[in-house]
């Protein structure tokens, strides 16, 4: 899926590829402490080159990973990353989304979640859920507006669970 923003920036939503290691490394490296904290639970998290290679080559039975890539002439930059993870024998999948700080609240998260629902539906999933830090008000509101129910988690007051059924089309 490709579109152009009101200020003429070309964006493409696509599956992650093995040759995205450098782009993904730059994306994670460029995230603010706060964005990393909300996404990974640690603001100073770093991944090894091997971990990035692993992330860029997901097993399709276990994960669908989508990127939104900005193209500026020959230069590409990742502006968002999102994935759903499947557990064997389970029809519920877990979602995680990260939009680059400068690109938040531009409708990118919404496109990603819609695309992930399409992917989950194709795989006959019946539920999507996400684990959200209770302090992440933006993500909680974002998920609520996308039809997710927000509930307390069994892991204590610092973690919320967002759940939404996936209806067959
Ligand atoms: C949370 C996150 C994924 C949302 O993605 P996004 O691209 O910024 O969101 P979008 O622009 O697509 O949608 C924003 C929606 O959230 C709502 N929203 C929530 N908080 C808002 C705020 N503070 N200001 C304005 N809108 C807000 C908007 O109203 C909009 O919904 P609507 O169109 O139904 O009105 C993104 O901000 C992000 O990556 N945050 C950091 C990492 C993170 O927390 N990831 C989640 C880990 S569990």
Q: In angstroms, what CA-CA distances link 83 with 35, 39, 70, 74? A: 16, 12, 18, 26
Task: Pick the residue whose CA is nearest to atom 23 on ligand 1.
Answer: 138
Collapse the DSSP code of 6 into the 3-class scheme (helix H, G, I; strand E, B; otherwise coil) and give the result.
Answer: coil
Examine residue 160 and state whether it is found in any structural domain, yes or no: no
Indicate whether residue 107 lines ligand 1 (CB < 6 A): yes
Domain of 38: which CATH number?
3.40.630.30
**Longest distance between any two alpha carbons in the chain, whole Å:** 48
Examine residue 33 and state whether it is found in any structural domain, yes or no: yes
CA 81 to chain centre: 5
Indicate whether residue 142 lines ligand 1 (CB < 6 A): yes
Task: Pick the residue whose CA is nearest to atom 7 on ligand 1.
Answer: 109
Q: What is the pLDDT along the chain (169 residues), one digit of tens a residue?
A: 999 999 899 999 999 999 999 999 999 999 999 999 999 999 999 999 999 999 999 999 999 999 999 998 889 999 999 999 999 889 999 999 999 999 999 999 999 999 999 999 999 999 999 999 999 999 999 999 999 999 999 999 999 999 999 987 7
Torsion, CA 33, CA 154, CA 63, CA 111, rounded to 10: -60
Examine residue 74 and state whether it is found in any structural domain, yes or no: yes
Q: In whole angstroms, give the CA distance from residue 96 to residue 39.
A: 7
């Amino acid at each position: 899926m490709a579109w152009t923003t009101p200020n003429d920036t070309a964006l493409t939503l696509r599956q992650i590829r093995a040759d995205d290691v450098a782009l993904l490394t730059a994306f994670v490296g460029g995230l603010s402490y706060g964005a990393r904290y909300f996404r990974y639970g640690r603001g100073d998290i770093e991944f090894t080159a091997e971990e990035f290679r692993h992330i860029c080559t997901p097993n399709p039975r276990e994960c669908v990973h989508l990127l939104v890539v900005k193209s500026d002439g020959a230069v590409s930059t990742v502006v968002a990353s999102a994935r759903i993870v499947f557990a064997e024998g389970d029809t519920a999948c877990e979602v995680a989304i990260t939009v680059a700080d400068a690109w938040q609240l531009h409708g990118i998260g919404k496109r990603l979640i819609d695309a992930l629902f399409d992917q989950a539906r194709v795989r006959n999933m019946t539920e999507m859920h996400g684990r959200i830090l209770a302090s992440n008000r933006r993500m909680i509101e974002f998920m609520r507006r996308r039809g997710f129910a927000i509930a307390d988690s069994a892991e204590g007051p610092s973690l919320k669970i967002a759940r939404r059924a996936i209806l067959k089309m």
